[in-house]
Amino acid sequence: MELVTKTLLLCLVLAVTNAAPTSPQESAAVDRCAGIEFDAITPDENGATFFFKGDHVWKGFHGPAQLSTEFFKEIGHVGAAFRMHNTEDQTVHDHIFFFQDDKVFSYYNQTLEPGYPKEIQEVFPGVPTHLDAAVECPKGECKTDSVLFFKGQDVHVYDLATKLTKTKTWSDLPTCTSVFRWLEHYYCFHGHDFTRFNPVSGEVTGQYPKDARHYFMNCTNFGHGGGRRPVNCSDVKLDAVTTDDSGRTYYFTGPMFMRLDTRRDGVHAFPITRTWKEVAGALDAVFSYTDKIYLIKGDQVYIYKSDAHFTLIDGYPKSLQEELGIEGQVDAAFVCPGEQTVHIIQGQRMKDVDLTATPRAVTRDLPLPLSDIDAGLCDSDGVKVFKGSQYYDYKSPMILAMGRIAPHPQPITSAMMGCKD
Per-residue b or e along 37-62, where b marks 16 or more CB atoms closer than 10 Å to that residue's CB: ebbbbbbbbeebbbbbbebbbbbbbb
233-417: CATH, from 3.30.2270.10, 2.110.10.10, 3.40.50.300, 2.60.40.420? 2.110.10.10
What percentage of residues in the chain have a pLDDT greater than 70? Answer: 86
By mean pLDDT, which of 131-135, 288-292, 404-408 is the weakest? Answer: 404-408
pLDDT at 334 over 80: yes
- The string of pLDDT tens digits covering residues 301-330 is 999 998 767 899 999 999 999 999 999 999
Q: Which amino acid is at 50?
A: F
- The string of pLDDT tens digits covering residues 237-289 is 899 999 988 788 899 999 988 887 655 555 567 789 988 999 989 999 999 99
pLDDT at 89 over 90: no
pLDDT at 230 over 80: no
Asked whether 137 and 146 are in contact (CB, 8 A), the reply is: yes
Other Cβ atoms closer than 10 A to 111? 11
- Domain 15-225: CATH class, spelled out: mainly beta
**According to the model, what pLDDT value does residue 228 have?**
44
pLDDT at 25 over 50: no
Mean pLDDT for the chain overall: 86
CA gap 116, 349 in Å, rounded: 62
CA gap 145, 380 in Å, rounded: 30
pLDDT at 21 over 50: no
Residues of the chain with CATH 2.110.10.10: 15-225, 233-417
pLDDT at 225 over 60: no
SS (H, E, C) 168-234: EECCCCCCCCEEEEECCEEEEEECCEEEEECCCCCCCCCCCCEEHHHCCCCCCCCHHHCCCCCCEHH
